[in-house]
Amino acid sequence: MANLWYITPQGKLHGSHVTPTNHTYLTHNRLREYEEQASAFRSGGSPKAWVPPFDVKSPADGLIIRIGTFPFRPAPEGYTGTLEDHRVIIWHSCKVSTIFIHLSGLDPEVLKVTGKLEGGSQGWAASYDTGSIPVKAGQVIGKVGAQGIDFSVHDTRVTLEGLQIPEHYQGDAWKIHAADPFDYFEEPVRSKLLEKNPRKTAPYGGKIDYDIKVRLVGNWFMEGTVDYGGGGSRNQAIFCGNQPCPYWNGHLAIAYDHIDPQKVRISIGAETGITQQVCHVCQGAYGVKGNGPDPASVDTGSGLVKYDLVAREFIDGAGIREPNRNVEDQVLGVFLAQVLGDTTIKVELLPGTTSSQVAGFSEKAKLYRR
């Protein structure tokens, strides 16, 4: 427990996670030391060899059934070496599983079964020949990496009702079964973990499903991209420059902050025209000036609604790096939206403008579907 700096709940909106993130982030306290080391390196200090700092342990008895590998990366600034990057799935019963992402190395007992795994390979999966890998509660399975670790609990007895069309998430089938991870820990561990969680509103593990029929709130997919996996973009000429767009380019989420669920958030995967220089912590997810209108109340009778998007900044003095404070006096652009039906909305973002300067949609407006 002493190694944990803080736990970011589910539902964070940032970067390629345009829709609410279906896992928590476990941030270890040595990341602060690494930041100090990087600063010293930039000032002329010598680089250090990268050593993964902490063990990652199975939270309960179970079976490892799959290990994925991402391309291995260079160690962070100020360090030498290479970081491994693994995704591990453990089933603890026929209903409940956990997923760890960004393990910076696997335990020797695990490697006895899998053999050495190369970065970017297809990884390892249980088979009739190898079987699965049994683990006990508290058994070391790997090491934590330079960016902390992603952790989630999935329970097939739980189906999220706020993802209006579950079939659109078949490529990430575990998403619709994302559960509040704190509910699966016994006391006193649960209470100690909650102390590390900056969200103080139930559900404490966060929320990722906001869809309401004939309402603006929730997840949307650009017309032509079909679903969460961007399936239609493989069949239609949807390009970002000269390259096919990443799947999240077609995502749009109109939701709420993962720490303070009273705050409206608009998260956009497509190019916004709002640069990092203007808001380096936004990463495509913006606050709303005046925090309204509430997208859960916007329907077909609301007509055109306008949101002045504002920058965000890190919480002051809270001991965490989560940019959930709105900068009300820094308007970045206006987001126009209109609910056209149960599964269709029309939207447009005009950077560098305010709602008082815009009368309505232009020919560049786009349709998004559930």
pLDDT tens-place values along the chain, 370 residues long: 999 999 999 999 999 999 999 999 999 988 878 878 888 888 888 888 888 889 999 999 999 999 999 999 888 888 888 889 999 999 999 999 999 999 999 999 999 999 999 999 999 999 998 899 999 999 999 999 888 999 999 999 999 999 999 999 998 999 999 999 999 999 999 999 999 999 999 999 999 999 999 999 999 999 988 899 887 555 454 677 777 788 999 999 999 999 999 999 999 999 999 998 899 899 999 999 999 999 999 999 999 999 999 999 987 555 678 898 999 999 999 999 999 999 999 999 999 999 999 999 999 999 999 9
Which H or E element spans position 312? strand 305-313
Local structure of 174: helix, strand or coil: helix
Residue type, 2: A
What span, in angstroms and rounded, lies between the C-alpha atoms of 191 and 358? 49
Q: What is the pTM of this model?
A: 0.93
Domain parsing of the chain, residue ranges: 4-195, 218-369
What span, in angstroms and rounded, lies between the C-alpha atoms of 322 and 286? 13
What span, in angstroms and rounded, lies between the C-alpha atoms of 307 and 88? 40
Local structure of 177: helix, strand or coil: helix
Residue 59, preceding bond cis, omega within 30 degrees? no
Instruction: Tell me the fold of 4-195.
Output: Glucose Permease (Domain IIA) (2.70.70)
